[in-house]
Structure 1
Amino acid sequence: MAAASRHPSSTNFNPIPSSSPAFGTPVHPIIPAVAALAPPPLRPTILPILLPPQTLRPLAFRTFTKKHNLNFTTSALSALATFIGRHCGSGWREEGLAEKVLEEVAKTWKKSGGPVIVDGTGDMLKAILRTLEGCMSGGRIMQGKSAVSRQGSFAFGSGEESQELDEGRPRLKENSSFGLSSLQVEDVEEDDEQSRDPRSWLRVISAFEQPRLVYNVGKKHFERSTTKPTLFPPPSHKTLLFRDRYNLIHQRLLRNEAFQTPSFDQQSSNTLTRSDSMTVQQSYKITPIANLLGRSGSSHLLLGLLTVAPTGTLAISDLTGSIALDLQHAKPHVGEDAAWFCPGMIVLIDGVYEEDYNSTTSGLGQTGGIGGTIGGKFIGFSIGGPPCERRNVTVGVSDGVKSENGDVTAGAGFGWVDFLGVGSERATGSKLRRTEQRLLGPGGAHTGNARMIVCGEVNLDSPGTLEALHKMLRSYATDDADRMPMTVVLMGNFVTHAVMAGGNSGSGGSIEYKEYFNALASVLTEYPALLRRTTFVLVPGDKDPWASAFSAGASTVIPKKGVPDIFTSRVKRAFAEANREAGVKKGGVEGEAVFATNPARMSLFGPAHEIVLFRDDITSRLRRTAIRFATPSHDPEQGEPVDADATMMSGGLGTDSSTREDTMDVDTPAPAPAASPSADFETLMARKLVRTVLDQSHLSPFPLSTRPVHWDYASALQLYPLPTTLVLADAEAPAFAVTYEGCHVMNPGRLVRDGRGNQIGWLEYDVVSKRGVIKEDML
């Protein structure tokens, strides 16, 4: 201590000597009163400021939109401005503090699987800002040091394991982005025993639970509907139903290359010109109906909804007005038997506007009335459906192009939109595809399970149907456990007649219907091994309860709920008994029966595989309501039929008709030589049905009077983006498997083939190759 007193440090030196130097009494420095009262050094303080959201908007736009392809709402901008003004102060611009905060929020939002729209009203942005608040010191994000928050402390980038937080707080992993753990975002690569079963990645999505997304024309993105859905909505929702359909197809057309004006060509035309036997296509331009006024005799291309006016005249309507159509000279641009055109569909019509100069008012309304019916008529020469857009183009995934690490590259599109509520393509698509390849790919442990069986028109009140189910299930139950199918889909109608609408008096109809499902349960109990390792999905038809109780089997309103639980208790008990006897471990994947809605969607490995299940006799409805075109007239001098006018589009906008026809691959059983004409006709009908439905991107492109629809749940009928696979169960159409624009469309037909003796048939779908094969057998 004496040495310490003789050689004091510069900080402890005091000119006053010790009271007893001989005994080495330590020096006690005299501390001034001001120094004694001074508090210990604190972190740099930030003086909060009031930062207007408009001032922050340019910086937020550069960070979110330009750099990370994200959009933000006004509420999100206000929340960010308030947060930055409170924690960054006046240095938000000069020191670049706001840019770093916005950068971290954008990265965390994308890694958390958030939608493309950053919304400030939800809990997700609030959770990110709450977590980020505890990691800031002096307006800066502390990554190399521990930052104190109001609830605990975080350690980032220290090279050591992350520290445990207060009780109830999550544990952050090293090099993890802020807020990932608190938002419960897990890496799908770290799977457990349960996730190694492919069926654990299978999810059946109800039409009433699917996210209700609406395309915002002004912001050019999808956003969730803020209104609460109801079965009795206000009348304005009926108008929004068709408005949303039009906006969706209109933005899809504008993304098509045929509707984009080349920068090197200043001229635009809506016709095709031929020069030196080579077709030169110019860009097309859609004319709003209201802009036809005063342009009589000019050619235009219209996009609108085919409707029937109160006078019985066929008309076309868009968001600006309506005009009567004259289609006596019109021809389909893809051929007579390529597609159906019915009222309720959105079509493209190329023709000439002819104004009525003989009277001041037309028979349909005022001449020149904007927003109503336009006077005169539109003489159409070519009519066609809007060309559909491939799924990889919609979600922004380059098909077949992979980066250096093996991930599928992503481009423009709606990749950050979560259409099904299972995660967006850009957030989880590449990881889940690797999981699918590991489980179901070559060398995977569950390669043999990558099959889905689809049966249509399973009439349980027919003895032949139960015998056919025995035959079909027996062919798969005898296989090895690793060869059993992943899913078996049984699609209605489950009765031949709507027993709930007639039958016996009182409750006889319901008792009779329940007995049919008890018979199905008796059939399933004979295959317990199949029940333990397979997921059964049952989709009702128009003759199933409860809607058939008042429709008598006619077209009911869609989406339609599944078969009520009161009729399915015996079937569910059969699965419970099979799982109990096998002793399935807790947390394991058990076999189950899912009574889905109509339509329903199946998601396998998140957004990597989307399967739409829909039961409807759509072919007969299309034939009844389709527009009939005039047959080709004959030239008396040449003796040959005159071809249709093909000046509008050839083969679907910019592609030759033969090339577009080759894009539709058909997979049908090899027909007998004597049956080849019938088989060719069935193939043409299959292609016609598939093209009509997919070009409309809608499961029910009809007026509400023809096919009723729940207005608030109409978004569940949209086919945008195109699903990976569409099961369109139509009992009145032949069985087929067709691929069109990358979407595989299948129709299982009837389980018991009518008019073919004891023949039965179903579909076997390969999940890996995404192709279906028609299977046939004899009872």
Structure 2
Amino acid sequence: MAYEGLISEEEKVELVGKIASVIDKENLSSNVLGKNEVKIAVEKILALQRHQPEVCLEVEVISAFDIPKYKYDETQKRFVSAPNRKTLFSTAEEKSLLYRERYLLILQRLRRNSIFAPPPLWASTRRSYHKLLTVDSLSSIMCASGAEDQNLVVLFGMLSQLEEGKFYLEDLTGHVLLDFTEAKVTAGLFVENSMALVQGLYAEGLLRVQVLGSPPTESKELSRDVLKSANFFGGTFVHDYFVMDELGKKEADNETAMIVCLSDVWLDKPEVLEKLNELLRGYEPLLPEAFIFMGNFSRGPQSAHSFFELRVTDLFKKLAGVLAQYKQLVMRSKFIFVPGPQDPGPGHVLPRPPLPDVLTKPLKDLLKHNAVFATNPCRVRYGTQEIVVFREDLIAKLKRNSVLTPSADEGPLHFHMVKTLMEQSHLSPLPLHASPIYWWFDHALRLYPLPDTLILGDQYAHFTVEYEGVSCFNPGSFLSSGFHFMVYWLAARKPELRYQAE
């Protein structure tokens, strides 16, 4: 052949890998790979080699209201893009669609799980699996007298309290009454309106629960592979082979890159401003990529008086005065401010808009483009990493609203909380009366695909949990914890607890 020997075997293998990577990210109309698809992939690779974009690492903050919305289409068996909308007002229908979309999102994930997916017909060995039934299929179950094992069933649905004190499992086909008398509860926190797997004995319209469990998670790698080029996270999204590879290399090389995280930064406490001054002085030579300051920004509860206090006493102006002493940090580091549940703003509905401009003007004037007043929750993209930031007292709310309490032997309370969020694929899997949400923007609280890192601001004591490849940590309240905070090392993807000694 004329081209024989032009490239080595190693280069051939690398080229085939690049072609496969490009094709794998495309939404192909058919499962059959043809010459035209390969040709397009090669042309993209050659174009990128000729015009390699400049790759730089930077911290990008994404508003909850700018996150792309996708709905799962049960007919097409895939996610489809929904129209963007800026208004917060929703119709009554969208409230019911909120739960439907949560249900379908997890169901499509379960159908791929080896626990519930039947083996393919061509598989050499037959493995066992659990068949997921729907509520309407229960009526067809006919059990022979005394053969109780024949009505052992596994269902997936939403825990609903349709009558006072009575819980049901509800799916798209109907609902069935649950009896928790002999139920064994697996790790996690189960609340009303959360999704659950139930194994039990069904007879005469009653499901006697034997095991209550959460739907197992799916790795972020598998989810992203299934979703292809769909941008679920938001912001600047690149799935190009060369760009991602280059970003990954730059992340690994920048070993000192860090994000400093503090929660409950009470600016009305003089000792907090004093310790912030010391903290900034210590980190000025290191120049972190970003500082994340989570509310509440004053000790008192939200009210007209608290808004007046923040404005009149110029607490953010005092913080600006502290920051102004550290010119290198002001020029080089990003300062991200995430409002807490008690900060001034439009009520307690999630996602929460940024702090009002009337309060934050002194910081904006000082920090210019390095001041980011974010929504709660918000998302942060750094290179190839996807980071979710959420300020909410979740542990107390989940415990208070739990249907059944897990055994203490299963792990500490914060572990149950993290496990619940990951398996529910949602930051706030609580009933709407306990945690109100703008119905149309419920997707902004999704944890699907799983992020690389989850930063929580909770009044609970500081903790770190690694779960299913996600690094989750909580710095705790800055003052109440004795001035503890967290440093997240971006290259190693590891959090580290620090404290500002008294």
- Provide the TM-score with structure 2 as the length reference: 0.86
Provide the rounded CA distance (Å) in 2 between the counterparts of 1:522 and 1:723: 35
**Does 2:268 align with 1:461?**
yes
Aligned with 1:715 (options 421, 433, 443): 443
**Does 2:395 align with 1:619?**
yes
Tell me the CA shift for residue 415 of structure 1.
2.5
Tell me the CA shift for residue 327 of structure 1.
0.6
What stretches of structure 2 of length at least 5 have no aligned partner? 1-22, 144-150
Tell me the CA shift for residue 347 of structure 1.
0.5
Match of 1:697 in 2: 425
Tell me the CA shift for residue 419 of structure 1.
1.6
Size of the aligned set, in residue pairs, is 469
Cα 1:528–1:302, aligned 2, differ >3 Å: closer, same or farther? same
Q: Is contact 1:492–1:539 with CA below 8 Å preserved after alignment?
A: yes
Cα 1:265–1:300, aligned 2, differ >3 Å: closer, same or farther? farther
Which letter does structure 2 place at the counterpart of 1:70?
N
Cα 1:187–1:235, aligned 2, differ >3 Å: closer, same or farther? farther
Match of 2:372 in 1: 594
**Does 2:217 align with 1:217?**
no
Tell me the CA shift for residue 72 of structure 1.
5.4
Provide the rounded CA distance (Å) in 2 between the counterparts of 1:187 and 1:714: 42
Match of 1:70 in 2: 27
Which letter does structure 2 place at the counterpart of 1:528?
K
Match of 2:7 in 1: none
How does 1:624-663 map onto structure 2 within 5 Å?
Answer: 624-628=400-404
For the pair shown, the structure with the greater C-alpha radius of gyration is 1
Cα 1:69–1:447, aligned 2, differ >3 Å: closer, same or farther? closer
Which letter does structure 2 place at the counterpart of 1:441?
A
Cα 1:522–1:683, aligned 2, differ >3 Å: closer, same or farther? farther
Provide the rounded CA distance (Å) in 2 between the counterparts of 1:531 and 1:187: 37
Provide the rounded CA distance (Å) in 1 between the counterparts of 2:119 and 2:127: 11
**Does 2:10 align with 1:283?**
no
Which letter does structure 2 place at the counterpart of 1:603?
R
Query: Higher mean Cα deviation, 379-388 or 537-546?
Result: 537-546
Aligned with 1:394 (options 223, 232, 257): 223
Cα 1:684–1:281, aligned 2, differ >3 Å: closer, same or farther? farther
Provide the rounded CA distance (Å) in 2 between the counterparts of 1:111 and 1:339: 46
Provide the rounded CA distance (Å) in 2 between the counterparts of 1:466 and 1:681: 41
Which letter does structure 2 place at the counterpart of 1:464?
E
Q: Is contact 1:750–1:761 with CA below 8 Å preserved after alignment?
A: yes
Aligned with 1:441 (options 242, 245, 252): 252
**Does 2:61 align with 1:204?**
yes
Tell me the CA shift for residue 208 of structure 1.
0.2
Tell me the CA shift for residue 229 of structure 1.
4.9
Provide the rounded CA distance (Å) in 2 between the counterparts of 1:186 and 1:234: 49
Match of 1:416 in 2: 229
Deviations 1:252-289 (A, max 9, x none): 011111112224799x9xxxxxxxxxxx9720111000
Provide the rounded CA distance (Å) in 2 between the counterparts of 1:190 and 1:211: 25
Provide the rounded CA distance (Å) in 1 between the counterparts of 2:142 and 2:288: 62
Tell me the CA shift for residue 107 of structure 1.
4.8
Provide the rounded CA distance (Å) in 2 between the counterparts of 1:68 and 1:428: 8
Cα 1:559–1:320, aligned 2, differ >3 Å: closer, same or farther? same
Deviations 1:613-664 (A, max 9, x none): 0000000011111123699xxxxxxxxxxxxxxxxxxxxxxxxxxxxxxxxx
Tell me the CA shift for residue 776 of structure 1.
2.0
Tell me the CA shift for residue 468 of structure 1.
2.0
Match of 1:764 in 2: 487
Query: Higher mean Cα deviation, 709-718 or 296-305?
Result: 296-305
Deviations 1:376-421 (A, max 9, x none): 221100010001111111112xxxxxxxxxxxxxxxx222212234
Cα 1:251–1:447, aligned 2, differ >3 Å: closer, same or farther? same
Cα 1:592–1:726, aligned 2, differ >3 Å: closer, same or farther? same
Aligned with 1:323 (options 169, 176, 180): 176
**Does 2:367 align with 1:557?**
no
Match of 2:190 in 1: 341
Q: Is contact 2:263–2:295 with CA below 8 Å preserved after alignment?
A: yes
Match of 1:609 in 2: 385
Provide the rounded CA distance (Å) in 1 between the counterparts of 2:51 and 2:165: 57
Structure showing greater relative contact order (alpha-carbon pairs closer than 8 Å, 6 or more residues apart): 2
Cα 1:486–1:546, aligned 2, differ >3 Å: closer, same or farther? same
In percent, how many aligned pairs have the same letter?
A: 30
How does 1:111-260 map onto structure 2 within 5 Å?
Answer: 111=44, 176=47, 189-191=52-54, 196=56, 198-199=57-58, 202-226=59-83, 228-260=85-117
Tell me the CA shift for residue 429 of structure 1.
5.5
What stretches of structure 1 of length at least 5 have no aligned partner? 1-65, 74-98, 113-174, 177-184, 269-279, 356-375, 397-412, 549-555, 577-590, 632-679
Aligned with 1:575 (options 367, 380, 390): 367
Provide the rounded CA distance (Å) in 1 between the counterparts of 2:274 and 2:411: 29
Deviations 1:536-561 (A, max 9, x none): 1010011112224xxxxxxx110010
Aligned with 2:311 (options 511, 520, 529): 511
Deviations 1:148-187 (A, max 9, x none): xxxxxxxxxxxxxxxxxxxxxxxxxxx64xxxxxxxx998
Deviations 1:428-465 (A, max 9, x none): 2652342341x3434xxx443x1111001111111222
Show structure 1 runs of 4+ deviating over 6 A.
185-188, 680-683
Match of 2:138 in 1: 292
Tell me the CA shift for residue 488 of structure 1.
0.6
What is the CA RMSD across the aligned residues, in angstroms? Answer: 3.0
Cα 1:530–1:243, aligned 2, differ >3 Å: closer, same or farther? same
Match of 1:40 in 2: none
Which letter does structure 1 place at the counterpart of 2:66?
E
- Provide the TM-score with structure 1 as the length reference: 0.56
Cα 1:231–1:187, aligned 2, differ >3 Å: closer, same or farther? farther
Q: Is contact 1:330–1:629 with CA below 8 Å preserved after alignment?
A: no
